[in-house]
Copies of this chain bind each other. A is one copy, B any other.
């Protein structure tokens, strides 16, 4: 296997383990075992744990950008795009109930560790925040687009935390419906009623 493929394999495994078990709780040995490598070979690709964390965050940034672009492509109206965001709570509900939100839990852990990469992790939130704000602006809410984006992001994080603690699937569905109802009240009727038909 070439160096770049092995490196990518390491990043993929580390990404999964950092999410499922946490950054601190995941050892090099864990990553090497799941990637099918010896620990010695591992250090050929990554010198420090912080290096692999940076690679994981960088990979998540790229994946997030791709998802946001796909949502923008696949939905005609800004309201439908926002609904795409809301619905990841349902799509990923099983993993969220087991391990929380990948972004929120990483930011929390790095904040507690006062880790140098905590700002980089928070930038993952900013990707969603700025994208959502653009959709709200397109819905005619230029003045408070960022506040609305943060509000929706806040709700999705709150749902993720409680879904993990209580493992309550009905709660997730209820709050997603509530977020959609809130969305209705926040935006001009025309663009929303049009988009509702496509749901």
Q: Quick one: closest B residue to A111, CB to CB? A: B164
* Chain B residues within 8 Å of A151, by CB: 175, 178
Q: Is the CB of B162 within 8 A of A22?
A: no
A44 within 8 A of B: no
Select one of B25, B125, B153, B162 contacting A154, CB under 8 A.
B162
Q: Is the CB of A161 within 8 A of B157?
A: yes
* Chain B residues within 8 Å of A125, by CB: 162, 165-166
Copies of this chain, tallied across the complex? 2
* Chain B residues within 8 Å of A113, by CB: 21-22, 25
Within 8 A of B (CB), among A154-172: 154-159, 161-162, 164-166, 171
Within 8 A of B (CB), among A16-43: 20-22, 24-25
| A interface residues, tally (CB under 8 Å) | 39
A105 within 8 A of B: yes
Q: How far is the CA of A151 from the CA of B111 in the complex (A)?
A: 25
Q: Is the CB of B108 within 8 A of A161?
A: yes
Q: Is the CB of B153 within 8 A of A162?
A: yes
Q: Is the CB of B105 within 8 A of A108?
A: yes
Q: How far is the CA of A148 from the CA of B166 in the complex (A)?
A: 15
* Chain B residues within 8 Å of A112, by CB: 20-22, 25, 99-100, 105
Within 8 A of B (CB), among A98-125: 98-101, 104-105, 107-109, 111-113, 121-122, 125
Q: Beyond the given A22-B112, A104-B165, could you list 11 further A-B residue pairs with CB under 8 A, ordered by the A residue number?
A: A20-B112, A104-B161, A111-B165, A147-B174, A151-B178, A153-B158, A153-B162, A154-B162, A156-B158, A158-B159, A158-B161
